Structure 1
Amino acid sequence: MINLSVTTILIVINCVVSYLALNNPTVMNRLILTPYWVERKNEYYRFITSGFIHANFMHLAFNMISLYFFGYIVESKLGGTLFILLYLLALVISDIPTYLKYKNNSNYASLGASGAVSAIIFASILFYPVNLIFVYFIPVPAFMFAILYLAYSYYMDKRSGDAVNHSAHFYGAVVGLVFVGALDYTLIPAMFTTIADAVLNFFR
């Protein structure tokens, strides 16, 4: 009997559902997050379903590669039940600001697992704050990546200059930190201690 991890199952579901949606506009339109119709038809299921479809295969690949590298780490720490709870909560919560902002805009739609994946990445950063994260093949300490990621996502959301839902990235990341921090508050002071030690060792 094959014992699949939750991370593997999520990757498979994302790939299958995204493939179906990309090849069938009816499926895409039925699953995508459209705040206007959520507000008027109470189609709240879209907060979940929109997280399992992607704009194109590059978008899908980027999110699934990120989930692959960070998902197994976080799942090993939280266990399958808490891991899937974090993932689904992040999908929903990360899109609430988007819903509130665009609920009267009939032309706006959002999709992708980025909010949930951001939560998983930031949960891993809380566990391992000085591990290296490779950004375009450049190694960056996890805590520095976290600061830059949050600042960039916040700035780009306020700028609103592209079609990327930076708000979901930002709030998904926050969900990951808050969720894991609430489960074990000792991780927060431990994170700062680990970072301080790493910085001091760097300058010695």
Structure 2
Amino acid sequence: MITYIIIGITVVLSFICFGNRELFMKLAFIPYRTVKNHEWYRLVTHGFIHADMTHLLVNMFTFWSFGVYMEQTFKYMGFGNGAYLALYFGGMIIASVYDLIKHRNDPYYISIGASGAVSAVLFSSIFFDPWGKILFFAILPIPGILFGVLYLIYCQYMARKAGDNINHNAHFYGAVYGFVFPMLLEPSLLNMFLSHFGL
């Protein structure tokens, strides 16, 4: 249920901001304004707006694909809605910290989209089901754990290469947070994860 609510709000706000530049600039993650004007809300609001329909659809479809599973998993394990919200919004915030520090003096740097939060949800699902299949390039089904390793390597490579207007650092740090998050809730879950590999 929470997954669908977040998707609904994100779709509505993204559509509104497609045609409202003033609101877009008010909600976008701009580290310079975040620090200088203490507009810390931007660490969250940027995740509700997107650059275009493709950006929005890819993020929301991925979130739906893994968010429903993670929401049900957390409920089944007794963590509840609070933990799920902490996963999503915690991923969104943690994914932005690197850029907050790096670009705090750059008034022209802007970042938007739920990619950090979505990466967190995706990697939590990999933690709980490392052998579950994920479509590599949306075509080839491979084990989630292999996808995760390739994804992190790709994010780091592209972050160093730069130039494609995609915030690969947010993807990377959101993913790492999402993978670690279940162990923050319950450290003994590490044993469960290792058991998938016969350890």
TM-score category, normalised to shorter length: over 0.9
Q: Tell me what 1:57 maps to.
A: 53
CA distance in structure 1 between the partners assigned to 2:127 and 2:189 by the alignment: 7
8 Å Cα contact 1:88/1:116 also seen in 2? yes
Alignment of 1:1-204 (within 5 A): 5-78=1-74, 79-135=80-136, 136-196=138-198
RMSD: 1.3
Look up the equivalent residue of 2:135 and give its one-letter code: F
Choose 1 or 2 for highest CA Rg. 1
CA distance in structure 1 between the partners assigned to 2:190 and 2:164 by the alignment: 34
C-alpha distance after superposition, 1:16-71 (max 9, x if no partner): 01001111111101100111111211111101100100010100000000011100
Look up the equivalent residue of 1:15 and give its one-letter code: V
Offset, 1:115: 0.2
Relative to structure 2, which stretch is displaced further, 179-188 or 92-101? 179-188
Q: Where does the alignment leave 5 or more consecutive residues of structure 2 unmatched? A: 75-79
Look up the equivalent residue of 1:110 and give its one-letter code: S
CA distance in structure 1 between the partners assigned to 2:2 and 2:92 by the alignment: 16
> How many residue pairs end up in the alignment?
193
CA distance in structure 1 between the partners assigned to 2:29 and 2:60 by the alignment: 19
Deviation beyond 6 Å, 4+ runs, structure 1: none
Q: Where does the alignment leave 5 or more consecutive residues of structure 1 unmatched? A: 198-204
CA distance in structure 2 between the partners assigned to 1:121 and 1:164 by the alignment: 18
Report percent identity of matched pairs. 38
Look up the equivalent residue of 2:124 and give its one-letter code: A
CA distance in structure 1 between the partners assigned to 2:167 and 2:197 by the alignment: 30
TM-score where L is the length of structure 1 = 0.91
CA distance in structure 1 between the partners assigned to 2:120 and 2:11 by the alignment: 19
C-alpha distance after superposition, 1:153-179 (max 9, x if no partner): 112112223211101000001111111
